Structure 1
């Protein structure tokens, strides 16, 4: 009888510990701490990604686009060129649309009009959770469809994504049969389950990472209403028919560069790859500007005659 009580107590303690971890893990993933947009603007102004006087003179307007997920997406349309060339920017986790300006400037200089927008639960866009591409891909689809409704079908459209925004871009392009003419993805993850497993291993060498992730995944499914196994760009990248430029910093230790290499290998047809020598996560442009611009120009001239 005593042994039975000990076994029952041990089971209850194990269940309690699993529940505590699952709750903590799912909250940390679904409600990851975001940066304040003003802090982003101040940071990027210091880095000359945003030049206030120049930005103020750009012809732009704020728009609110209905999301199929039940809220409105905040976006900014920057349209200095009387052309049908557009590029949409999908930012990374914890950031906001203003952090996309460092990339937008490159394309404004190349004759593109620009749309930057706040991802779900970031910036001014609502949404209860961050899903790392699962729900975000439908928001990206909504932005694209809104643009076609506004401008007509005769567009040359690109989409550029960074980190989570890059994964979102690939999921949109491959899973939802995306409508863009080309895609540029900077430091995407290939599989969210694999990324979380890697990050758990980094946090504790002796942690039972696979067991913990199994528990955490269950809580994410219940609390976030999605399965992390369905956030897997590597499973859909071979469906993308349009050209894709893949970019990653070789020194990235947050999302490892092999993920982009795997995506590049899996992608069929038109594609290019830039493995930047310098910089950590999402720092390829900051630390390798010349190579970054050369890669963009080569990609556009090769596949789009731009």
Structure 2
């Protein structure tokens, strides 16, 4: 009996250890340092401090429905009701959104950039890859409408987790924007997790994943299968531009193709020939902007 007890204790210890390790990797994915992001963008000349400093802007704290505050910046150089909201990816912050913001400022839009929960200056303890972030995005949109009026014409651009966030917002909460640009989203969180397990860990996914998803539910309050843009993409009626780099190995481009095919109504697809994950713009800036112009002219501003 003692041997059986030790064996059971060993199995339980293994299960708890796997569950905590798995859930920690997702909930607390190591973020890039704020200074690293800023220095990287400055070195690449995607962020010019002097130009940014001259823009008329307001720093605004938006309360999240999950009980913390979101650090936002409303950048308003134009007397217009046209706005773009930029949602960054996991491990990044709003500084990474400036390069996308600049695309739209040049085209006469005002912009909102903000830090997701647990990133930059915002509150929140965990990353949920769109689950809680979609409600935060709605809170930012509601604040923008409250301050600038309900007759706004606005779009949302998102990169990686930010792209998933906007698709979940539009598909699950409200199709409230006039257009969406989803750059390198995953189509299904569980498939993405299993893809990463297969690349990083020399164990079969069936031996790890069920425990991991249960610990996410216990510790962060949601099931990973709830974060699934592919299940809601068909409800989005507004135009969507899907973007992905073909060489992306972190989130395969096939996931964006799956979303594109499932989307009904107006849509366009841009598969960049160059660039790793979330690098479509960095590796192909001219073509990236041309495809946004094409999308806006043909499906949004026509």
Q: TM-score range by the shorter chain?
A: over 0.9
Question: For 1:295 and 1:156, how far apart are their aligned partners in 2?
Answer: 20
Secondary structure, counterpart of 1:185 in structure 2? strand
Instruction: Give the match for residue 41 of structure 2.
Output: 44
Q: Indicate whether 1:88 and 2:85 are aligned.
A: yes
Instruction: Give the match for residue 304 of structure 1.
Output: 300
Question: For 2:204 and 2:13, how far apart are their aligned partners in 1?
Answer: 17
Q: Indicate whether 1:125 and 2:97 are aligned.
A: no
Shift of 1:243: 0.2
Q: Indicate whether 1:246 and 2:227 are aligned.
A: no
Secondary structure, counterpart of 1:178 in structure 2? coil
Question: For 1:126 and 1:72, how far apart are their aligned partners in 2?
Answer: 5
Displaced runs of 4+ in structure 1, greater than 6 A?
none
Shift of 1:204: 2.8
C-alpha distance after superposition, 1:172-191 (max 9, x if no partner)? 01000131100000000111
Secondary structure, counterpart of 1:104 in structure 2? helix
Question: For 2:4 and 2:68, how far apart are their aligned partners in 1?
Answer: 48
Instruction: Give the match for residue 208 of structure 2.
Output: 212
Unaligned runs of 5+ in 2: none
Check whether the contact 1:45–1:51 (CA below 8 A) recurs between aligned residues. Answer: yes
Instruction: Give the match for residue 100 of structure 1.
Output: 97
TM (norm. structure 1) is 0.96
Unaligned runs of 5+ in 1: none
TM (norm. structure 2) is 0.98
C-alpha distance after superposition, 1:242-283 (max 9, x if no partner)? 000000000000001000000000100000000000010000
Instruction: Give the match for residue 70 of structure 1.
Output: 67
CA RMSD of superposed structures (Å): 1.1
C-alpha distance after superposition, 1:131-182 (max 9, x if no partner)? 1100000000000111111111211100000000000010001000131100
Question: For 1:83 and 1:270, how far apart are their aligned partners in 2?
Answer: 25
